[in-house]
Structure 1
Amino acid sequence: MARPVLAAVLGLGITLTGQHARAAGQDTVPTYTFTEDARRIEGAGSTADAVELEPGRTYRSTLPPDAKVFFRLELDDTETAYASATAVPPPGTGVAVADGVKVTVEDADGRSCDGDTAIFGAPGSPHPVAAWAMREISPRRSLCAEAGTYYVTVERASPDARGASPDPWELELHTVSEPGTKTPDGTAAPGAWDSATPAPVQGTAQRRSGGAGFAQAARLGEGVWRDDVRPGQTLFYQVPVDWGRQLHATAELGSSGTDASRYVASALTLDVYNPVRGHVEDLSVGYNGGQKSKGLKPLPPVAYENRYASGQQVSAVRFAGAYYLVAHLSPEVAEDYGDGPVPLTLRVRLGGAGRNGPDYAGGTVPADVFTVDGGATSGETGGAGDETLYRVLAAGGIGTGSALVVGLGVWTVVARRRGAALPE
């Protein structure tokens, strides 16, 4: 996604496009931004009417408060399919701590292949949460291995819980297909791995504004990153993690300078999701107006064999790609500290040594989902698209003044095209 790099560098004081707009004096918290080309579909009340989810596509739908919705997958007997659902309650609505979203993949006989539940948890505030489920082809699994029709069911985790919202929620559905490997793989999980907690990354923080959804997640590399998060807001970041590398992250809330004594438990939550939006790990940070920090529990190096581990924290780290850090600040913080932004610092470290990935027998869908490209990471203010634009301009021998004009023209066209694009 293009970012306002030229304007920022030249001090023009204008905004072109961004991961989420923060207009001067804007009082509302930005809501979830759905994938731009997501197709709008309706979840069926019966498997007989379920709409097919195609691998590699992203969809928008609605989750009623008191019923399951069904979607359909058409699968062969070689591919592992992943389906995730991100539930987005309306801003300002009440939610129960135990409520959330539940996703299940079932075969044509109603047998469960896999399931997962994501709840709002201790903050008890409405914010996007994602759950995932899979149909996995594995030597360890005989169930759900046949080619045929499978169903993805999505429902509320606890619609009858005290305080649960009676309103329908928006859904973002995402599907990924993973081929088998060319050579037979074993079924043993990796042995011992370095589970020691490393020291947080030090250094001067660089500014990076978080996105308002998975599709707009701001890209981070190893380093120290600074942002501001408002009560009730959720920020999305992505960290490219290659095969063999190990992700570590620490979240810090800065001091507010406000004289308040009330302690807000679980003021900040930080969730880690893998490249198919499957939950990996999380942490929560309490807040009393002074600086607070907490690090994620150590995660294993990324390895294909992690899928054979018994614990989800390890088995979810099964492929390379973009790992998402999703930070949410509880609205309760505003009660004592005001509704202004709270300083947020993320310290990201990438340990381990790179290694080759699996020898896939075919292509993944989307094609680049389990890869790490050479785009912008640590220390760059722009994204890969910005870097590419500069390279093109430099190769053509265009001067700074002309580059500015061309750059503004390109971003204007992009912005107009985005404005004209509507979900189906």
Structure 2
Amino acid sequence: MGRRTARWRAAAGRGNRPPRARGALVGALALAVLAGLHGQALSVAPGAPRAYGFAPDALTVPAATNPAEAALLVPGKTYRSTLRSSGKTYFRLELGATENSYVSATAVPRPEAVLSAVDRLKVSLQDADGGSCSLDSASFGAARSPHPIAVSGMREVSSRSSRCQGAGTYYVVVERAGTTDSAPDVWDLELAPVTEPGLTSDEATEAPGDWDSASPDPVEGQGERRAGGEGFAEAAAIGEGVWSTGIAPGQTLFYEVPVDWGQQLHATAELGGAEAKDGSGFSVGALGLALYNPARGPVEEKSVSYDGKQKSAVLDPVPPVDHANRHAVAEKASGMRFAGSYYLAVHLASRVADDFGTGPLPLTLRVRVDGDASEGPVYDGEPVPRGLFEVAAGDRASGSTSGGDEDAGNDDAMTALAVGGIGGGTVLLGGLALWTVAARRRGASA
């Protein structure tokens, strides 16, 4: 995963996962039928690397090369654009004087992109005079594996600062830094601006004091199947527990975990063992685990190398969620400033395929959420989008986000079809016919 390279202040937007249509099941069965009729073995679908899952309602905006032509970004909406190999790209925000503003930029290099260890993404937020409100950057790490990385810019309203405090026009500046010849192609870009209202009373001016920084024992037990999403907007909902799936070299999986005020999140990603093609192999920084807050602000990331034996990427302990964490210096503390859905992004480096094949390899996530939910700060208004910095009552009670189990069941059904190899085309056609007849009878009864 990418190593953090620079940070002043940052965090930004969340999309909604679209419901899966029943038609997807029919389509998948139909494809399986065709494969069976042609005498081809069904491949393992869950681990196959696919494109980044952009928000389905994302609006496409041009990538301006100067502030005068910058496209307007409206908080609460998600946008798509592109990023060239050199030069700065500008986008515009119109902000009020009282809300904190965050905008995330997720860069998505093409799978065939060639990266160096120093290639990185930079994001800054500037006022109308070019003064810097924030600066953040991230690299792709030693693995040099193309994968989505998110960087944030922010404007914080504070009586202790005179810069970037008034209402008016601000600019989001996104650029690629490093070697211009190692990744010459255009990268895709997703932008998500959000706002956070101020508090109804005076807020704390210092970060909380002591907190439990000891690493707890990981959650034990067999993993429940849960396929990861392919982007922030498609993140699979999970809670405390053990979750398993397959991950292929070059693939990035996204999960979201509800974490309320006063609660502390711990996460570990385990990669199962595999046999090397020639008996031995080693991949630097192969497994990466990154944590992002509800505004898609980077909090922490870890990566481990892989030699075919089971390996674990363990996030360092982060403090309980607290509004005052924003005053902390360390990013892993300052990022834990909101309640809401936190994102876990797991990446397996593409170079793993050179020694261990195209996979998928077994992946296990162990997630712990410690502490009881507490009353959070009283906001003087609503964030945009509404409800971004809160945990729904049902999620708070169950420790898991609703709606994920049904999706997991569908994924497991399709995995069984793909991996089990039901057989020839006749069996598959028969199964599809029976499914269709049953669906028609249900419709007639209704």
Shorter-chain TM-score tier: 0.7 to 0.9
Number of equivalences: 385
Distance 1:359 1:253, change over 3 A: same
2:314 pairs with 1:295: yes
| Shift in Å, 1:166 | 0.5
Which ranges of structure 1 fall in alignment gaps of 5 or more residues?
A: 17-22, 388-400, 410-424
Which of the numbers 103, 127, 130 marks the counterpart of 1:107? Answer: 127
Structure 2 counterpart of 1:309: 328
| Shift in Å, 1:255 | 1.3
- Secondary structure of 1:300's counterpart equals coil
Structure 2 counterpart of 1:256: 274
- Secondary structure of 2:288's counterpart equals strand
Structure 1 counterpart of 2:99: 79
- Secondary structure of 2:302's counterpart equals strand
Question: How many Å separate the matches in 2 of 1:130 and 1:264?
Answer: 23
Question: How many Å separate the matches in 2 of 1:41 and 1:343?
Answer: 38
Give 2:168's aligned amino acid. G
Give 1:2's aligned amino acid. P
Structure 2 counterpart of 1:193: 211
Which ranges of structure 2 fall in alignment gaps of 5 or more residues?
A: 1-17, 32-40, 409-434
Cα distance per residue 1:272-292 (max 9 Å; x no partner): 111111111111122111111
User: Which has the larger helix fraction?
Assistant: 2
Cα distance per residue 1:231-254 (max 9 Å; x no partner): 111111111111111000011111
Question: How many Å separate the matches in 1 of 2:113 and 2:55?
Answer: 23
Aligned residues of 1:242 and 1:302 also touching (Cα < 8 A):
yes
| Shift in Å, 1:142 | 2.2
Instruction: Give the TM-score normalised by the residue count of structure 2.
Output: 0.80
Distance 1:15 1:327, change over 3 A: farther
Cα distance per residue 1:384-414 (max 9 Å; x no partner): 8879xxxxxxxxxxxxx9xx859x98xxxxx
| Shift in Å, 1:139 | 3.0
Distance 1:146 1:195, change over 3 A: same
Aligned residues of 1:197 and 1:298 also touching (Cα < 8 A):
yes
Question: How many Å separate the matches in 1 of 2:407 and 2:111?
Answer: 32
2:107 pairs with 1:90: no
Structure 2 counterpart of 1:355: 374
Aligned residues of 2:48 and 2:248 also touching (Cα < 8 A):
no
Distance 1:24 1:361, change over 3 A: farther
Give 1:264's aligned amino acid. S
Structure 1 counterpart of 2:19: 2
Structure 2 counterpart of 1:329: 348
Structure 2 counterpart of 1:396: none
Give 1:235's aligned amino acid. L
Question: How many Å separate the matches in 2 of 1:147 and 1:39?
Answer: 25
Question: How many Å separate the matches in 2 of 1:329 and 1:282?
Answer: 13
Structure 1 counterpart of 2:412: none
CA RMSD of aligned residues (A): 3.0
| Shift in Å, 1:53 | 0.6
Give 1:353's aligned amino acid. D
Aligned residues of 1:66 and 1:159 also touching (Cα < 8 A):
no
Which of the numbers 200, 211, 219 marks the counterpart of 1:182? Answer: 200
Structure 2 counterpart of 1:413: none
Give 2:84's aligned amino acid. P
Question: How many Å separate the matches in 2 of 1:151 and 1:217?
Answer: 28
Distance 1:5 1:363, change over 3 A: same
Distance 1:108 1:323, change over 3 A: same
Distance 1:150 1:15, change over 3 A: farther
Distance 1:24 1:153, change over 3 A: farther
Structure 2 counterpart of 1:318: 337
Structure 2 counterpart of 1:217: 235
Question: How many Å separate the matches in 1 of 2:66 and 2:23?
Answer: 51
Distance 1:24 1:35, change over 3 A: farther
Structure 1 counterpart of 2:261: 243
Aligned residues of 2:52 and 2:108 also touching (Cα < 8 A):
yes
| Shift in Å, 1:224 | 0.4
- The structure showing larger relative contact order (alpha-carbon pairs under 8 Å, at least 6 residues apart) is 2
- Secondary structure of 2:192's counterpart equals strand
Question: How many Å separate the matches in 2 of 1:29 and 1:226?
Answer: 17
- Secondary structure of 1:106's counterpart equals strand
Aligned residues of 1:182 and 1:359 also touching (Cα < 8 A):
yes
| Shift in Å, 1:228 | 0.6
Question: How many Å separate the matches in 1 of 2:132 and 2:365?
Answer: 38
